[in-house]
Structure 1
Amino acid sequence: MKQLLIYICMVMGTVSCTSRSPQLENGDLLFQAGKTSAMSDAIRAATGSERQLSYTHVGVLLSGNGADSVLEATSDGGVRMTTLQEFLEGSARIEGAPAVTVARLKDTAGLAASLQRARAHLGEPYDYSFRPDNGKMYCSELVWESYRRPTGERIFAARPMNFRNEDGTLPRYWTELFERLGEEIPEGVPGTNPNEIARDSALRTVGHFFR
């Protein structure tokens, strides 16, 4: 039996067979500590915390037809659909496992409509400006805009954005990015980030891929 299980895992892949893989449900949010990049480092410096894993990305789990996909807004593809395997491969590693946490709404009323709204953003470009209502999306903005209560009220709050390090300095990535865009850095403009959404009381953590 043990040999048979090993064979099945070799065929199906390590992600689906690892005992660390949490049970997923449609509409779960996948919070990811991304691999090192200039953007990930800048996000981590501005929104991270030494007290917990610092997330730099979030995606929406969509289940159906026997497969799991992740709807996400990325800087290299805008709002797109990614396989779960590809999403996990894009994560940093903790003892060899993807640094991804799975969270679920405590109250799922209105979830179907929220996912329909999220799907409607497929194909929109990435929002390098980090501003609302401009026809573009960054990762946590997609979640903020899509996830709503049956009344239409957004589940997650937007708060004044911070782009600065803990010492108050601006990472070079942000200054150079907004110089190229010809825009002011939207410091203090209402917005979202993966770390704040991950800590929101509307969610409960249901598992990790690294434990």
Structure 2
Amino acid sequence: MKNKEYLLSVIILLTFSIACTSPNSMNQIKTGDILFRGNTQQGLSDAINKVTQTPKKTNYSHMGICYVSADTIWVFHAAPEKGVCKEEINLFLSPNNEAEYTTDLYRLKPNLAQSAIKASHKAKEYIGLPYNYSYIIEDTGMYCSEYIYELFKEDSVFTLDPMTFKDAHSNTFNKTWIQHYQNLGIEIPEGELGCNPNGMAASENLIYITNIQ
């Protein structure tokens, strides 16, 4: 009996220890934190990553802002086909039950904590807007990084930079983007101001917290 009780105590202690020290624990997420989701090797996700690499060599193609309510973590984000939406974190981490994504958690620096809270509450105002497939800021709807940029715009947390749709190695337009804009019937908005997940993750106003999955 004593051996069984001892074994049970060890299991409980080990479980508690793993839960407290695991870098993947979602218990670290706070309202206003930003999740950056990795790219997949297909479609627009891969195309976005290929033309938006930074010196920090991040590999993100999507992002969203967190809101913690009771025992539920919500993520507000703008996604193709869904537009601006609010989803439970598990749906954001593994859309369509796909497991190939990796997701990192970032937080605004302490002096911008109030900006993070304010942005998370403002996020609900845009729910229902369509996705902006042109990636031109002035056009109807929002794409993922444009949405986050807009939430923090009042406090100048992020900046807009000239966009490029060219492959960094060949300096030619990525084939996916050529087809994408041909389908839209407009010119590629090369050089127009915009934003992207990789560039925003490199912002000096953010602190990397941990990998979520």
Shorter chain as denominator, the TM-score bin is 0.7 to 0.9
CA distance in 1, matches of 2:146, 2:99: 22
C-alpha displacement of 1:178: 1.0
SS at match of 1:85: helix
CA distance in 2, matches of 1:27, 1:138: 19
Deviation string 1:172-195 (CA, Å, 9 cap, x unpaired) is: 211111112111111111100001
8 Å Cα contact 2:102-2:212 kept in structure 1: yes
The Cα shift of 1:171 comes to 1.6
Query: Structure 1-normalised TM-score?
Result: 0.83
The change in CA–CA distance for 1:66 and 1:130 in structure 2 (over 3 A counts) is same
TM-score by length of 2: 0.82
Output aligned runs, 1:149-164, within 5 Å. Answer: 152-164=154-166
- Between Structure 1 and Structure 2, the one with more helix by share is 2
The match for 2:45 is: 40
Point out where structure 1 has 5 or more consecutive residues left out of the alignment.
Answer: 9-15
Q: By how many angstroms is 1:6 displaced?
A: 9.7
Deviation at residue 57 of structure 1 after TM alignment: 0.6
Total equivalences in the alignment = 196
Partner of 2:118: 113
Confirm whether residue 199 of structure 1 aligns to residue 174 of structure 2. Answer: no
Q: Which runs of 5+ in 2 are unaligned?
A: 1-7
Q: Note the 1:1-211 alignment, pairs <5 A.
A: 1=8, 19=22, 20-22=24-26, 23-49=28-54, 52-90=57-95, 93=100, 99-106=102-109, 107-148=112-153, 152-166=154-168, 167-210=170-213
Provide the aligned C-alpha RMSD in A.
2.5
In structure 1, how many angstroms separate the alpha carbons of the residues matched to 2:115 and 2:62?
Answer: 24
Give 1 or 2 for the bigger CA radius of gyration: 2
| Contact map agreement 2:43 2:176 (CA 8 A) in 1 | yes
* Conservation of the 8 A alpha-carbon contact between 1:115 and 1:147: no
